[in-house]
Amino acid sequence: MKVRGKSAIEEMHAGLAMEDEPRLDSRISAIYQVDSEEAAEIHANYHAERIIEVLQKRAAQKGMHGKRLEEITAGMDVRGIALQVAAGKVAEAAAVDILFRNVYITESNGQDNDRYVNFYG
């Protein structure tokens, strides 16, 4: 039996280099029997979900929870950066760092004075 769903996409990503991300669209297309445009959408949605999950964990570590993070990220282009990750243009970890930095700056009223966040993202 073929693995499908999120598990199949996770399995495809195991040990995958960022440069190989764009090639997954054709594999997703074959698994789900959809055209390339829909496969790209599925792939981007997978990364968007993962990015949001990591942002939630990081925000919780800084004391920010659910609703506030949702409010802040609603104004961000999470989908756009997820498309870039799926296209192999940006590493997923870098995408999370970029978005978290924006969340942190927004939450601290534009004052970017946390040395940890400045140095480590």
Q: Using an 8 Å Cβ cutoff, are 92 and 85 in contact?
A: yes
Cα 98 from Cα 94, distance rounded (Å)? 6
Residue 25 neighbours by CB distance under 10 Å: 20
Tell me the per-residue pLDDT of 37-70, one tens digit each, with 9 for 90 and over: 999 999 999 999 999 999 999 988 888 877 888 9
Domain borders along the chain are 6-120
* Torsions phi, psi for 4 (to 5 deg): -130, 175
pLDDT band at 120 (very low <50, low <70, confident <90, very high): very low
This prediction has a pTM of 0.82
pLDDT category at 3 given cuts 50, 70, 90 is low
